[in-house]
Chain A
């Protein structure tokens, strides 16, 4: 399991290098999909099955679909993939930077894998993160109400930004 988590960690860094090295937005969205999947793998390796499920369903299902749809607004006739010259140059620079920093910090790494949650899992009914998220509905109710309020406010922000026609927030639209 340790080696699989190592593989997911390497994939996390490589996916974010692929996002950050300035390719066309279609390919950057694809890199972000890879990053989200690898993050799910890391969380599963540490025992957070419910948080990983939330990340996979909400992030990949909700937000990245919207991002992939918005990539149509950023269409360009000659898209730059990771094989084109400036993108490959930045990828090599970032990869070299990460490897150098990791090599400099190599002596300070004391353990490959940390103990994950729920060592006493045979005494418990639910996983630790499921019970922890359920606290949001009892003790964390105030913050839950604030979160719902912020989401409602964001709905009106989006409506006002995209309305236009001399009435919205941006009248030049």
Chain B
């Protein structure tokens, strides 16, 4: 394991723990998810760069496109939540009445 591999592995795990343990805002959870996608992008890019498999360079681009889809759907849910509840605290999402 080189320091580069340790770094992107630890950033993925850090984003996962932030997503799992800190859920005050919905936007914070989405940002942790984006951090995880960013570490995956760096990991895929480094895989194709370090092993000289340049045909694989298209995979991080497609990953970026799919993560844009995920961010768009998440932010649409954020806007819908802000319109119904007036806030994006995840604590207020479990209330029965709007």
The minimal Cβ–Cβ distance linking B8 to chain A, given in whole angstroms, is 8
Q: For the complex, would chain B's binding face be called helix, strand, loop or mixed by DSSP majority?
A: helix
A88 interfacial by beta-carbon distance below 8 Å: no
The bracket for how many chain A residues form the interface is 35 or more
List A contacts of B79 (CB < 8 A). Answer: 70, 73, 161-162
Query: What string of 1s and 0s marks CB contacts (under 8 Å) between A123-136 and chain B?
Result: 00000110111011
Give the total of B residues in contact with A, Cβ under 8 Å: 66
Report the Cα distance A154→B74, complex, angstroms.
11
Is A19 touching B18 in the complex (CB atoms < 8 A)? yes
- Listed in ascending order, the chain B residues whose CB lies under 8 Å from chain A are 1-4, 6-8, 10-11, 14-15, 17-19, 21-22, 24-28, 30-32, 34-35, 38-39, 41-42, 45-46, 48-50, 52-58, 60-62, 64-69, 71-73, 75-80, 82-84, 87-88, 98
| CB proximity to B under 8 Å, residues A30-80 | 32, 35-36, 39, 42-43, 46-48, 50-51, 54-55, 58-59, 62-63, 66-67, 70-71, 73-74
